[in-house]
Chain A
Amino acid sequence: MADKSFLSVTRRGFLKTIAAGGIGAGFIGFHGTLIDAALFRNRGKGALHPIYGVSDTPEWLHDAKTGAMGPNPDWMLRHTVDQQCHSECGLRVKINRKTGRVQRIMGNPYHPNTLLDYTRLQTPLLDTAKRPGTVCARGNAGIQTAYDPYRITVPLKRSGPRGSGQWQPISWKQLIDEVVEGGKIFADTGDPASKDMDVLGFRGLYGKRKELMDAQAPELGNRTNGLLFQGGRVVGSRLGFARRFGKAFGTVNVYEHVNVCEVSHHVATAMVYPGKHMTKPDVMHAEFIIFWGTQPGDANFPMQTLGKYTAQARAEAGGLKYVVIDPLLGRGGVSGDAAAWIPIKPGTDGAMAMAMIRWILEQKRYNAAYLSHPSQSAAEAAGELSCTDASHLVIVDPHHPRTGAFLRSEDAGLGRFGGEEEGDRVVIAAGASRPAQAAAVKTAQLEYSGSVNGVRVQSAFTLLRESAQRHTIAEYGAICGVPEAQIVALAREFTSHGRKACSEMYRGVVKHPNGYYNGVAVLLLNLLVGNLNWTGGLTVGGGSYGYKKGRYDVTAVPGAEARAFGVKLSREEAYYEESSEFKAKKAAGKNPYPAKRPWFPLSFEVYTELLPSAVQRYPYGVDILMWHMATPFYSVPSQGNQAFVDAAKDPKNIPLIIASDIVVGDTSMYADYIIPDGSFLERWCHIGTLPTTLTKGTGVRWPVIELTEKTEDGRHMCMEEFFIDVAKRVGMPGYGDNAIPDADGKLWPLHRKEDWYLKATANVALAAGGNGDEVPDISKTELEIGDLKAFHAQFRGALKDAEWSKVLSAMSRGGRFEPHDRAREGDRLTHRFSKTLHFYQEETALTRDSMSGRPFLGATGWVEPATALGKPLDKLDDPNSWPLTIITKKGALQSHSRLASNYVLREIMPDNGIQIAAADAERDGIRDGDEVWVVTPEGRRKGRARVMQGLRPGVIAFRVGYGHWGYGATNYQIGGKRVEGDQVRRTGIHLNPVMRRDPDVWQMSLMDLVGGSVVFFNTRARLEKETHRA
């Protein structure tokens, strides 16, 4: 019972006394009338400075007499690269010299992402004082990622069962001891599932480096493939560092996250533009762009730059016009004279693109002259900048042993050809109607269907036309929900700008079971107008300065004895038909299809298949799992379901799980150990600029601050130091005293991460250059501004003396970047791609679906989305019962799982909500702000309705990054002390855990079996209104 005695002594004189004493004086501000009060002015304490208010002093000092700018000695400025998203923008970080604390983040004016006409590398740092670059809200907010109060700075070990939320801080030495030596390392946890387990540590597994995983299936490689590194956003040289560890250890299973992002985009691009994973428009000079499944200002490569270019280009008189094809209207899809929005049904972009292709072919609106050149030399002779295989003949005789392949000279009776493989293909020479080697003629027929030397063939062009003509434009329109007239109008507009029209795509097109085919169709529109390499056309980007070789070979592992080889756990880049499993089934007279789980011979980084494959031990099991910036339970569609989490965290399935993370994350909370990692401001990485940038460039991310605790010998704890110490302890080659070869063969030591990353920086900074891209020597002032003298002193021995000046200069500028005026040479782009572009995807055609045994399509077309065994999704979940389709949104404020700590962003948008089309909401009686349940065949989640007009009816959307259960969202204990979760991080709805699983494969998300993307946009749902408040 509460003691009420306190109230009895209340006397109103008390408040009068203290108010008279001055407490609260001026507290509420201006005591005026209501009208005056409405002026909303802060009447608090006076500003500290008449201009800067209560803000910090500026980083530069201005001499009013001379006009000169000088550095403010209170601050140091360091230039690095952002990782709040994957735009990889250059940052200028303002750091308090006394406290070492980051005070502000701005844009690095040397970096192409931050300014249209970014600063030349030779410009002294001091001269950039008046013109910093820009970064977006996420970039500015990065301080809160680094200084997140939930950061972990020492190693943690679970002190209860996995996922119990009970942690114990441990020393770095204990961490290394236990994970290397293994044994009964969980005896102290009291966990019945693991306390008596004898765990194989790194030493034990490395000791099996010469043993086969399975003697009956030698293609699976050695036992060391039982080490799995599942990385999330680990890119550039940081991925290189991890891969090098994998190479030295002897595992092929070092992954980044790509298929949870949009690998089918990259695979489709590589199949059309060989070896390239992305193309982008020359936005500033294009006349017309179609943005498929994305829009300027939303996540892209890179978001800020593409948005900025588009805004600038459309503002020019007679400038850029564009169309956004996406179910959701974002801020970049603004309607008006310059932009239009076509709300397409999710997953049907391929149908719309094929309809446009059909119209363009039938109306002969394609660039026939360009397409008729069968080789690069013929194209160049005609003044073209690229060539295609549109005229090349493909074997279509189903009984021919090479059906689906291009016809070779020898097949055609033309003899053997000694030149390049693509020149050996056969075409029908224009005008002569006779077969010829592609390399031997200047022009060839586009249309051909007939026999050559008794072999039935068709040209790639004809195959595409026939594929396009499988449906009428009206039928395509019905599939994609876009009126025929609108499709035709768009096709007409697209073919009305010569080579200055581009078809550009991102996630929305490809994250479907038919994503690869959609992607290829969208890309082929570009080939029809011949826009590659032209100003205002399409580009593969300016490229980058490589970090791997040059002054040092940082990828080499001298003395490596354990060869990393074999089929990867995800069964990517490998053919099921070549496996022992397949051969054994065939030998036993069994139908080898379907495989237990799909194989992905055309794809890479199939991250989403790692955990279920490990649990099912298909094709083999995992002894040690490392997560780095990886959160599959949160980010992979359907993998957050409880049954799967329970299976994955069962120590019997994966005996040792080590995470490196900056917090106890949504997935790392299930690890055995957490290595404290540095935030992006504390890391190294060398990362090339993205293809929207037409010039060459490599950003250098380096630790501008370091916040984790130090090891006994003074190194800040992080993923790299963990690898180094494990490798040295185990005795792996490539670490320790003789680790990194230079160009002269001398071996340099690797005892700390800088020993490796500084050499990678030297490779970038000192690579051959010209045309104004040479890195200048660093000046005394620049050393001072970045406080780099101390850095140099600390790591002096990591490089040759002569290399330091340019290395420090590249660090002081955040990388190396070619001048912006090198982007174009008149009507053509400076950096051009010269391989033959593929109208027809031969490699795809020659690959079989490991589930059905049928070959994939070489000529792309409209393919209905289906499960792994081919059941159409509309038959899986009846649209009458499940009338809505879920899509995700990666907006400008919250595009990833990892920004939950950025409260300045959450203040702008505290809750994501369920975006519902106004028509759907009206039909279901849902008002904006209502609480609604999103019900899917896999479960349900509650959120707040956000009713909006800019969304196609039948579609609901949610922004990713909300609704956390880890990352500081819920309570846990460290050393017996409770850490309280923060409601802000829990707020919002996250639907990934209730997304559709493929019913044909255990715990597999719906997948694109060709391109390898996981499916985010094909889960059916319905809404149920909440009838009471919790």
Chain B
Amino acid sequence: MPEPRLTERLAAAAALTLCSPTAETVKILGAAAGRKLNAEEAQQNFYDVFCIPQSGRYVPPYAHVLRQAQQQGEYWHFPPPRHDGGDEMASWYRIVGFDPRDLDVNPLFQGPLRPLDHIGFILAYLARLAAARETDPAAQEVAAGFVAKMLGPWADLYVTLLGQAQSDYAPLVAHALADALADVRAAFAPLRGDHQGHTTGVPIHVDTGTP
């Protein structure tokens, strides 16, 4: 079996955060982790930890929320997600015509009112760039700028919190995410003089087809 490319690895990590686990997903995860997982419990874990703020086990997967997270004693406090909280991602996504609404994900994450800075969207976006760089070197530049500017400590905090979730399933997703972040940082290290990153107007001359 050929080793999966970066784009496939990132897509896998993204899918774990955005899609309810199927029996097949659970089987693969269990095999990789060397333990047996219960599919029904995994699905419930997914809804509790990734989807439902009222569950009591929810870890918000949005960058703008995690950036403002505060620890007081043993408790973490998160501000409520804002529908426009991740709008700063839009200009990056637009460069490659990436639209989270095109992803086949759990409906709870879909719709224009859902923040754009879900960690799964970000990994899917980077997966898209990883694929694109195989034929267009400019994609490497975009990705490096994005990682430098947008992928801050919040992502590591999320992985940490996810790893502590009271769940068999979520910590395994955290494993995958930790790997993905390491992959991303290795593959898209900032270019020299590019540590400020890009915001908009990245010099790639493509017609994105979007206004």
| Interfacial residues, chain A to chain B (CB-CB below 8 A) | 1-4, 6-7, 9-25, 27-29, 31-35, 37-45, 903, 906-907, 910-911, 978, 980, 983-984, 987
**A-B contacts besides A24-B11, A27-B19, A983-B80, 5 pairs, CB < 8 Å:** A11-B179, A15-B175, A22-B28, A28-B128, A910-B83
State the CA gap A32–B132 with chains docked (Å).
6
Interface centre among A4, A15, A907, A980, by most chain B C-beta atoms within 10 angstroms, is A15
Q: Are A18 and B103 in contact (CB under 8 A)?
A: no
- 24 A–B contact pairs at CB < 8 A? A10-B178, A10-B179, A14-B176, A15-B13, A16-B9, A18-B32, A19-B11, A23-B12, A23-B25, A24-B11, A24-B13, A24-B14, A25-B11, A27-B103, A27-B127, A28-B7, A34-B139, A37-B96, A37-B128, A38-B208, A40-B209, A906-B113, A907-B112, A983-B80
Question: Which residues of the other chain, A, contact B15 by a CB distance below 8 angstroms?
Answer: 23-24, 27
Question: Which residues of the other chain, A, contact B7 by a CB distance below 8 angstroms?
Answer: 28, 31
Contact stretch, chosen from B40-48, B155-163, B191-199: B155-163
Question: Which residues of the other chain, A, contact B175 by a CB distance below 8 angstroms?
Answer: 9-11, 14-15
Asked if B88 lies at the interface with its beta carbon under 8 angstroms from chain A, I say no
Q: Are B183 and A33 in contact (CB under 8 A)?
A: no
Q: Are B83 and A983 in contact (CB under 8 A)?
A: yes
State the CA gap A37–B82 with chains docked (Å).
28
Asked if B164 lies at the interface with its beta carbon under 8 angstroms from chain A, I say yes
State the CA gap A329–B204 with chains docked (Å).
39
Pick from B32, B132, B204: contact of A14, CB under 8 Å: B32
* B22 nearest in chain A by CB position: A23
Interface residues of B in 116-164 (CB under 8 A from A): 124, 127-128, 131-132, 135-136, 138-139, 159-161, 163-164
Question: Which residues of the other chain, A, contact B131 by a CB distance below 8 angstroms?
Answer: 28, 31-32
Asked if B51 lies at the interface with its beta carbon under 8 angstroms from chain A, I say no
Asked if B49 lies at the interface with its beta carbon under 8 angstroms from chain A, I say no
User: Closest approach, in angstroms, between the C-beta of B20 and any C-beta of chain A?
Assistant: 13
User: Closest approach, in angstroms, between the C-beta of A990 and any C-beta of chain B?
Assistant: 17
Question: Which residues of the other chain, B, contact A983 by a CB distance below 8 angstroms?
Answer: 80-83
Question: Which residues of the other chain, A, contact B98 by a CB distance below 8 angstroms?
Answer: 37
- Evaluate whether A12 and B163 lie within 8 angstroms (CB atoms) in the complex, with A18-B12, A23-B28, A38-B209 already known: no
Asked if B203 lies at the interface with its beta carbon under 8 angstroms from chain A, I say no
User: Closest approach, in angstroms, between the C-beta of A736 and any C-beta of chain B?
Assistant: 45
Interface centre among A10, A37, A903, by most chain B C-beta atoms within 10 angstroms, is A37
Q: Are B124 and A34 in contact (CB under 8 A)?
A: no
User: Closest approach, in angstroms, between the C-beta of B82 and any C-beta of chain A?
Assistant: 7
Contact with A along B84-108 (1 / 0, CB 8 A): 1000000000011111001110000
User: Closest approach, in angstroms, between the C-beta of A837 and any C-beta of chain B?
Assistant: 51
Pick from A31, A38, A978: contact of B206, CB under 8 Å: A38
Interface residues of B in 59-91 (CB under 8 A from A): 71, 74, 80-84
* B6 nearest in chain A by CB position: A19
User: Closest approach, in angstroms, between the C-beta of B88 and any C-beta of chain A?
Assistant: 13
Q: Are A42 and B163 in contact (CB under 8 A)?
A: no
Q: Are A903 and B132 in contact (CB under 8 A)?
A: no
Pick from B1, B10, B112, B136: contact of A910, CB under 8 Å: B112
Asked if B8 lies at the interface with its beta carbon under 8 angstroms from chain A, I say yes
Q: Are A21 and B31 in contact (CB under 8 A)?
A: yes
Q: Are A23 and B53 in contact (CB under 8 A)?
A: no
* A908 nearest in chain B by CB position: B112
State the CA gap A23–B10 with chains docked (Å).
10
Asked if B33 lies at the interface with its beta carbon under 8 angstroms from chain A, I say yes
Question: Which residues of the other chain, A, contact B31 by a CB distance below 8 angstroms?
Answer: 17, 21
Pick from A6, A22, A35, A910: contact of B171, CB under 8 Å: A6
Question: Which residues of the other chain, B, contact A1 by a CB distance below 8 angstroms?
Answer: 74
Q: Are B204 and A16 in contact (CB under 8 A)?
A: no
* B131 nearest in chain A by CB position: A31
State the CA gap A27–B7 with chains docked (Å).
10
* A45 nearest in chain B by CB position: B104
State the CA gap A24–B25 with chains docked (Å).
9
Q: Are A21 and B28 in contact (CB under 8 A)?
A: yes
State the CA gap A31–B54 with chains docked (Å).
36
User: Closest approach, in angstroms, between the C-beta of B110 and any C-beta of chain A?
Assistant: 10
Pick from A19, A37, A38: contact of B9, CB under 8 Å: A19
- Evaluate whether A24 and B113 lie within 8 angstroms (CB atoms) in the complex, with A2-B161, A6-B164, A42-B102 already known: no
State the CA gap A676–B202 with chains docked (Å).
55
- Evaluate whether A15 and B83 lie within 8 angstroms (CB atoms) in the complex, with A10-B179, A23-B28, A980-B53 already known: no
State the CA gap A21–B22 with chains docked (Å).
13
State the CA gap A347–B82 with chains docked (Å).
37
Question: Which residues of the other chain, A, contact B160 by a CB distance below 8 angstroms?
Answer: 2, 4, 6-7
Pick from A4, A21, A38, A910: contact of B97, CB under 8 Å: A38
Q: Are A18 and B28 in contact (CB under 8 A)?
A: yes
Interface centre among A13, A17, A24, by most chain B C-beta atoms within 10 angstroms, is A24
State the CA gap A16–B172 with chains docked (Å).
13
State the CA gap A31–B138 with chains docked (Å).
15
Q: Are A41 and B83 in contact (CB under 8 A)?
A: no
Q: Are A14 and B83 in contact (CB under 8 A)?
A: no
- Evaluate whether A27 and B128 lie within 8 angstroms (CB atoms) in the complex, with A4-B160, A37-B98, A44-B103 already known: no
State the CA gap A27–B28 with chains docked (Å).
16
State the CA gap A4–B163 with chains docked (Å).
9
Q: Are A34 and B136 in contact (CB under 8 A)?
A: yes
State the CA gap A731–B25 with chains docked (Å).
64
State the CA gap A978–B84 with chains docked (Å).
25
Question: Which residues of the other chain, A, contact B183 by a CB distance below 8 angstroms?
Answer: 12, 15
